[in-house]
Amino acid sequence: MISSVLVANRGEIARRVFRTARSLGLSTVAVYSTADAAAPFVDEADAAVHLPGNAPGETYLRAEPIVEAALRAGADAVHPGYGFLSENAAFAQAVLDAGLTWVGPPVDAISSMGSKIESKKLMAAAGVPVLAELTPAEVSAADLPVLVKASAGGGGRGMRVVSRLEDLAGEIEAASAEALSAFGDGTVFCERYLAAGRHIEVQIMADQHGTIWAVGERECSIQRRHQKVVEEAPSPLVERIPAMRPLLFDAARKAAAAINYVGAGTVEFLADESGEFYFLEMNTRLQVEHPVTEETTGLDLVELQFAVAAGDRLPPEPPPTVGHAIEVRLYAEDPQHDWQPQTGVLHRFEVDSSVRVDSGVADGSVVSPYYDAMLAKVIAYGTDRSTVARRLAGVLDRAAIHGVRTNRELLAWVLRHPAFLAGETDTAFFDTHGVGEPADERAVRLAALAAALADAAGRRTGLPSGWRNLASQPQRKSYRVGETTYDVEYRLTRDGLVVDGDIRLLASSPTRVVLEVDGVRRVFEVAAYDGLVCVGPISLTPVPRFVDPATRVAAGSLVAPMPGTVIRVGVAVGEVVKQGQPLLWVEAMKMEHVIAAPADGVVGALHVEAGQQVEVGAVLAVVGEDV
């Protein structure tokens, strides 16, 4: 019997497992890094054990101190969550050797699927369709494009698309280096690349008595950097090709049976528009996107994990899938700037309670550079797909997310896109359709005006700030959104607000401004923080009237877009470079970012070296004119 469980993870998934554990009457134990000391999941656990350090390699990727923490806190089971050590066979064995219950699949099953190269051979032997593996040495021009993939791990790490044979060696080297850093194994392989494939996966649940469920399929085709951002159940492609579902389920059950699988797992396939599909990998753990399966089946997959670990039998058949569910991953990142992750204080996080929100953050949470940039998963369920998509987009619009840039606007745009609504959701979605539309110019200007009026209302004593008996110079305020600066000019006179356009001020306070715009009354909720003003979903940075010269950087300076680690320097001082040429590589929040030359020129200075930690805004290099 399990009475107390340690979750060897952090953030959203730790809170998710704790929620089910509490409902089952289990006590909970957290482990936490120094950076996570004030995180919500730590407070929600009945007991917590500190893992000194910040980086995953110092904390959540160290099996020995985690097992020691479980024993010290009196836990009798360990749930790995997803990521980190969740698919590490040695960790699972260490848990079992300590006399603890492992809430996961058998060690041998984890080992079997741990190498993508070996797992594909196993699946082919079991009759599961696979894409032919190509060794790097045998790739020819006829095979292009190919996908270079890490044999160990996933999540888009160690993956490169290669379209030119002359680029293959360099991309293999880069993918291998990234895989070695992320998973401790630099082995890579190649396979044929389907540029516009569909990512379809089947949820597996198996008990210790031979019953294997295929619990519905999910589609996770909308991805960035080979990482999923929108997931749904059931799959629009499978719904369109009904004969595909039984074949998928049969292949998934064969995959599980071939390795004597027990517990929750996911068999992932790459499919084309005709319904042909090929085995990608099997994730021997719970998936990030498991909530859409729960919403459409009524199951609690974590509860089933505990039951199977305790030796319980599953019923002969799983419940049917009913309705439709869509999940979006809310990331602290900037899609308009190469998906750069964002760090800082999340002043406010509030999402409408009409949908399910699995989050790792709360008001005041600090988004650090050490871990994945996902803040939360927002999941909507309903009877039909279009209604669910529309409702989820509306919830995202109304969410109050203050403090860090997120992909919220992009997600709402995807959910409303005609191609998405038509079920045309292949893995090249962003390549085909772009990454959203620019901010509505008029909406931003109205938000900037509301921000200025709210600021004036907060400073008024008696008469409104800027009020003059005889109107003279206008009040001026500037705000920045992205790289664009918006200047606001207004006058408050006896006759009211004077501003360009048909706009009347009806009421104002430091937190709320009511304007009549072209005869339509509009309300603007305003929240001001140090260096940030949020007006509805629009975040504005106040521009100071006078800039400290010491804060300026020299022309041609390349600055760090986020805190992180310099993992590679590709140039030397004095080297001639071309615009767009990669100069440095910075790793932050489980993603690798290229710092490229802004123009043709000569590298005049290098201020960093490989392995060095850098803060946001730090000058990394300077590129001067080629003289």
SS3 string of 551-565? HCCCCCEEECCCCEE
209 and 187 together in one domain: no
328 in any annotated domain: yes
Tokens of 452: 């200025």
Same domain for 535 and 554, yes or no, is: no
Cα–Cα separations (whole angstroms), residue 413 to 236, 419, 538: 18, 11, 15
The closest alpha carbon to 608, from 565, 554, 555, belongs to: 565
pLDDT at site 463: 47
The reported pLDDT for the residue numbered 460 is: 66
Q: Say if residue 508 is in the same domain as residue 562.
A: no
Q: Is residue 57 part of a domain?
A: yes
Report the 10 Å Cβ neighbour count for 402: 20
Going from the C-alpha of 596 to that of each of 164, 264, 603, 608, the distances in angstroms are 21, 42, 12, 15
What pLDDT shows up at residue 546? 63
Looking at the structure, tell me whether residues 364 and 508 fall in a common domain. no
Q: Could you identify the residue written with the tokens 């609504």?
A: 421
Grouping H, G, I as helix, E, B as strand and the rest as coil, residue 229 is strand
Cα(345)–Cα(572) distance, integer angstroms: 36
**What is the pLDDT, as a whole number, of residue 365?**
97
Say what the pLDDT of residue 627 is: 47
Gap between the Cα atoms of 511 and 345, Å rounded: 20
Same domain, 161 and 233: no
From 163, 192, 221, the end of a domain falls on 192
Does this model's pTM top 0.85? yes
- Please choose, from the candidates 47, 56, 57, 4, the residue with its C-alpha nearest in 3D space to the C-alpha of residue 26: 4
Pairing of strands 557-559, 348-350: unpaired
Is 289 among the domain residues?
yes
| Residue 17 C-alpha from the chain's centroid | 19
Residues 6+ apart with CB under 8 A from 57: none
Mark whether 341 and 229 lie in a shared domain: yes
Stretches where the chain sits below pLDDT 70 are 153-155, 460-472, 546-553, 590, 626-627
> What's the pLDDT score for residue 437?
86
Helix (H, G, I), strand (E, B) or coil at 411: helix
Domain hosting residue 184, numbered range: 113-192
- At position 615, the amino acid (one-letter code) is E
Q: Are 39 and 177 in the same domain? A: no
Final residue in a domain of this structure, among 390, 405, 433: 433
Say how far apart CA 527 and CA 402 lie, in whole Å. Answer: 8
DSSP letter for 280, please. E
Distance between CA atoms of 73 and 26, rounded to whole angstroms? 13
CA distances from residue 121 to 118, 172, 185 in whole angstroms, order as listed: 5, 22, 19
Are 474 and 489 within 8 A, CB to CB? yes
Domain at 481, CATH number: 3.30.700
Whether residues 367 and 235 share a domain: the answer is yes
- Shortest CA distance to 354 belongs to which of 402, 407, 303, 390? 390
Contact 380, 355 (CB under 8 A): yes
Q: Is 416 among the domain residues?
A: yes
**Residue 247 zone, left/alpha/beta (φ > 0; ψ -120 to 50; rest):** alpha
Task: Please provide the distance, in angstroms rounded to a whole number, between the alpha carbons at the two ends of the chain.
Answer: 75
Structural domain includes residue 108: no
DSSP state at residue 473: S
Whether 555 and 610 map to the same domain: the answer is: yes
Task: Write out the two tokens for 436.
Answer: 């959203």
The per-residue b/e assignment along 344-363, b for 16 or more CB within 10 angstroms, e otherwise, is bbbbbbebbeebbbbbbbee
If 0-12 CB within 10 Å is exposed, 13-18 middle and 19+ buried, where does residue 124 land? middle
Give the pLDDT confidence score for residue 381 in this predicted structure: 98
Confidence at residue 588, expressed as pLDDT on a 0 to 100 scale:
77
**Which helix (H) or strand (E) element contains residue 537?**
none
| DSSP H or E run through 372 | none
Under 8 Å between Cβ of 13 and 329: no
Strands 356-359 and 374-382: antiparallel
Contact 349, 360 (CB under 8 A): no
Classify residue 554: in a domain, yes or no: yes
Cβ-based burial of 142 (10 A; exposed 0-12, middle 13-18, buried ≥19): exposed
Do both 514 and 403 map to the same domain?
Answer: no
Its sign, for the CA torsion 607, 611, 613, 617, is: positive
Which residue type, as a one-letter code, is found at position 619? V
Whether residue 378 contacts residue 328, with contact meaning beta carbons closer than 8 Å, is answered with: yes
Q: Of the candidates 390, 411, 433, which is a domain's last residue?
A: 433
Task: Establish if 278 belongs to a structural domain.
Answer: yes
SS3 163: coil
Q: Which residues contact 280 (CB under 8 A, 6 or more apart)?
A: 199, 268, 269, 270
Assess whether 352 and 204 both reside in one domain.
yes
**Residue that the structure tokens 């040695």 belong to:** 90
Per-residue confidence (pLDDT) for residue 117, from 0 to 100: 83
pLDDT at residue 626, rounded to an integer: 63
Q: Which residue has the tokens 């909507």?
A: 380
* 98, 88 contact by CB (below 8 A): no
CATH number reported for the structural domain that contains residue 97 in this entry: 3.40.50.20
| 387 CB-near residues (< 8 Å, 6+ apart) | none
CB 6 within 8 A of CB 75: yes
Cα gap 539→368, rounded to integer Å: 20
| Domain assignment present for 46 | yes
Q: Return the residue matching tokens 């969740």.
A: 86
Helices within 195-270 (DSSP H only): 236-240, 244-258
| Residue 470 φ/ψ, nearest 5 degrees | -115, 120
The count of domains in the chain is 5
Which residue has tokens 């772009």?
A: 434
Q: What CATH number is given to the structural domain containing 149?
A: 3.30.1490.20
Residue that the structure tokens 């980190």 belong to = 84
Of 443, 440, 438, the C-alpha closest to 515 is 443
For residues 355 and 494, membership in a common domain is answered with: no
Look up residue 440 and give its DSSP letter. Answer: P
Instruction: Report d(CA 545, CA 488) in Å as an integer.
Output: 13
pLDDT of residue 134: 83
